[in-house]
A and B are shown apart, each in its own frame.
Chain A
Amino acid sequence: MTALAERPAAHLPSGITGAVGVLLAWELAARALDGTYLLAGPVSVAAYLMENAGLVSRALAVTFESAALGFVIGNLVAIALALMALLVPRAERLVAAVALFVSCLPFVATGPILRVIGGPGTAPQITLAALAVYYVTFLTLMVGLRASPSAWLDLVRSYGRNRWTEIVQVRARASLPYLIAGLQITAPAAFLGAMVGEFTGAERGMGVLAIRAMRGLDVTATWALATVASATAILVYAGIGWIGRRLNAAPPPIILSAPPPETRSSALGSVGSWLLLGAVATCAILLLWAGLMELFGLNEFFAKRPWHVFDFLVTASDAADHRAALFSALLETMYSAAPGYLLGLLLGAGLAVIVVSLPALASTVLPTAIALRSIPIITTAPLIVLALGRGSVGTITIVAIMIFFPTLVACVEGMRQAPAPVIDLFRTYSASRWTSLRLARIPAMLPAFFASARIAVPAAILAATVAEWLATGTGIGSLMAISASTSAYAMLWSSIVVVAALSAASYGLVSLVERRVLTVYASEQLSR
């Protein structure tokens, strides 16, 4: 506990070293690339910000307000969902599956639809910000609510008290560190959601300025806005961490471990029960979808119902053409999302191994990586497109960067989970650093690695579709954007369904692999 509490203080100077190093490298690179319209250094960024202080600060205030509102709403929804899952354990997997699907809805399509429904105000960006945060908080909170030592729960039960007392007296306090960690991770995501919402045609805000700068090929402005967005996210991230430490809620050891199932797997077996869950969840989602549309009486022109999508993709006379257009675009997206996903995971895990084996490096790289993890990567997409062009390399890079930092941080944490006696055991044989990495630390890292691989699936698809929309003009991201601007709402809704289904199914697939890995590499996490 003390070691954890002392960590930030010990890391602060090296964090500053890292920041200074990044600034220096940035300026040098900008000078080297002078005249290529790729990179604006910190000096010209600062000059731009001084000149446009009023404009940028007004935009920041607008975006910050939307992000903050969405952040609060999304996290309240997450807390409500977690409580529901806890109070009605039977419904837990269904709640989780529906929540997952909703969080997989592609912003590129939901953004414009919300814009049509909500008009030019801030409602769409607030909604997207909420959608961007609630699932991760829900997940971390579920892990946290389960983290209470069973003896504490037995204590409450031994007085004949009910589940609600259990939640108030024990689980709420025990899960506080997890909630704080969830809030910390999702704060940048809220900012990202708000900015993407503004991309879809808001009147004011950082997103509006960013789009304008990118369209006008204003390199300095693009860099300045990305810098402000990143700095804001880092500050909020650090601020929540500070509040957490003030509340004496030190970061929990592993925050992304899969929620262990409370119920025994059914007689159908693991795959069978997953299929059953998928079927029930699909029904629930369809009901929810149609029900909401009808409840609010939304216009069928832009608020398509499930049967419209079914007609568009299956029963219409030109359904085959629709399917062909949709799936070829989807395939194109997968060609950049999948390599970017794998690249980000491998680079993250690889650098984590290097960082752990060279402790001198860890004190500089890790604080920098933790800070960079909080950057809303999408908002830097214009920069990467500036640098790498409009081909698939740019998209792959954006996806990889989006996944790289969280994976790095999680894997380093995971490798540090290797118990001290095990490391001592290796040392008593003078085992080389490589041997203990290979036989102890890397296997101990696998649970954290697969947890980030799972969380990274929707992130990868989000990053790929946004990059396609803003920059490359290919793939399903572009198809959704064009459909939105040409009011081809049937195509738009069909894309949403297909992308979210693919995203959720991939997530499910990775979590199946994760379960397999956990049964071998961290069986105690499953049996807890």
Chain B
Amino acid sequence: MQPRSDVRCIGLAKVFQSRAGAVPALAPLDIVFAAGRTTAIVGPSGCGKSTLLRLVAGLEAPSSGEILIGAETPADVQRRGGLAMAFQDAALLPWRTVRGNVALSRHLARLAPDPHFVDELIALVGLDGFEDRRPAELSGGMRQRVAIARCLAAKPDLLLLDEPFGALDELTRMRLDQELPALWQQGGATAILVTHSVNEAIFVADRIIVLSDRPARVHADIVVDLPRPRDLSVLRSPEFRDLSMQVTDALGMGGPYERHPLVAE
């Protein structure tokens, strides 16, 4: 396996062309996502968080600037099956079983089939006994467990999580946040998590980047040095509440107040 590398965004900007004219989604950004750590990105709705993630995934081309993962471009990493992305929609293929869906990423990453590892992962995400079920028979939370297992099946260096638990209910989400991140964090993968939930960001990440309203700029960069492993008791700790306040403040300041100072007065 390749040594883990930082993900560096250098002067990264994205402008979308629409009929109404150019819509800048990302202002030129310089961010380094540290190798082997989990970084959460939070920001107001539509601020360009997902665009940033899609750029890193190589699903969009930057308008200017570049992204380097070590010395490689996202396209290079794609081609060697080095990155995996999870979406808000589990995006499972309805005609494949749980096992077939998890194994799919190994196939796409051009890796040899490894049924044993696939079954192990299914057990790790808590779905043993469901290997031969189809997505239609699973609940929303179970589908996202499959999606995460699918991400991990190709042993990626870089994991991109676009609100994977965003559509789930709060209880399910907390349970998944508690169980799943350890799976990639123990493996040492670099992870970038886009989320709307301040609690999720603090609970899961080593660092939180707060983006401003569109076009996105880095508004705050907050280190989360809560000890690991984290369990739900951490939610009641003063450190957690302090971090929560910092992130919430940063989000509030990045909102309409800054652009319309008169309202804030």
Which residue of chain A has the shortest Cβ distance to B74 in the bound complex?
A428
Chain B residues with CB under 8 A of A424: 54, 57, 59, 85, 87, 91
Chain B residues with CB under 8 A of A425: 85, 87, 91, 108
> Which of these, A419, A428, A435, contacts B89 with CB under 8 Å?
A419
Which residue of chain A has the shortest Cβ distance to B57 in the bound complex?
A428
Q: How far is the CB of A249 from chain B (nearest CB, A)?
A: 23
Which residue of chain A has the shortest Cβ distance to B81 in the bound complex?
A429
Pairwise interchain contact B108-A421, C-beta atoms closer than 8 A: no
B68-92: which residues lie under 8 A (CB-CB) from chain A?
75, 78-79, 81, 83-85, 87-89, 91
Chain B residues with CB under 8 A of A428: 57-59, 78, 83-85, 160
Determine if B256 is an interface residue (Cβ-Cβ < 8 Å): no
Chain A, residues 169-196, CB within 8 Å of chain B (1/0): the string is 0000000000000000000000000000
Pairwise interchain contact B134-A523, C-beta atoms closer than 8 A: yes
Pairwise interchain contact A429-B108, C-beta atoms closer than 8 A: yes
In whole angstroms, how far apart are the Cα atoms of A67 and B207 in the complex? 70
Pairwise interchain contact B91-A522, C-beta atoms closer than 8 A: no
In whole angstroms, how far apart are the Cα atoms of A524 and B85 in the complex? 24
Pairwise interchain contact A429-B95, C-beta atoms closer than 8 A: no
Pairwise interchain contact A523-B87, C-beta atoms closer than 8 A: no
> Which of these, B84, B88, B93, contacts A422 with CB under 8 Å?
B93
In whole angstroms, how far apart are the Cα atoms of A428 and B108 in the complex? 9
Chain B residues with CB under 8 A of A435: 108
> Which of these, A427, A429, A431, A440, contacts B93 with CB under 8 Å?
A440
Q: How far is the CB of A428 from chain B (nearest CB, A)?
A: 5
Pairwise interchain contact B94-A521, C-beta atoms closer than 8 A: yes
Q: How large is the interface on A (under 10, 10 to 19, 20 to 34, 35 or more residues)?
A: 20 to 34
Pairwise interchain contact B94-A523, C-beta atoms closer than 8 A: yes
Chain B residues with CB under 8 A of A429: 78, 81, 105, 108-109, 154
> Which of these, A430, A439, A522, A524, contacts B78 with CB under 8 Å?
A430
Whether A523 contacts B136 in the complex (CB less than 8 A), given A421-B91, A425-B87, comes out as: yes
Pairwise interchain contact A430-B136, C-beta atoms closer than 8 A: no
Pairwise interchain contact A524-B94, C-beta atoms closer than 8 A: yes
Chain A residues with CB under 8 A of B85: 424-425, 428
Chain B residues with CB under 8 A of A419: 89, 91
Chain B residues with CB under 8 A of A527: 136
Chain A residues with CB under 8 A of B136: 523-524, 527
Pairwise interchain contact A430-B91, C-beta atoms closer than 8 A: no
In whole angstroms, how far apart are the Cα atoms of A522 and B94 in the complex? 7
Determine if A426 is an interface residue (Cβ-Cβ < 8 Å): yes
CB within 8 Å of B: which residues of A?
419, 421-422, 424-431, 435, 439-440, 443, 520-524, 527
- Could you write out 8 A-B pairs with CB less than 8 Å apart? A421-B88, A424-B57, A424-B87, A425-B85, A427-B78, A428-B84, A429-B109, A520-B95
CB within 8 Å of A: which residues of B?
54, 57-59, 75, 78-79, 81, 83-85, 87-89, 91, 93-95, 104-105, 107-109, 134-136, 154, 160
Beyond the given A421-B89, A435-B108, A520-B134, please list 4 additional residue pairs across the A-B interface where CB-CB is below 8 A.
A428-B57, A430-B75, A430-B78, A523-B136
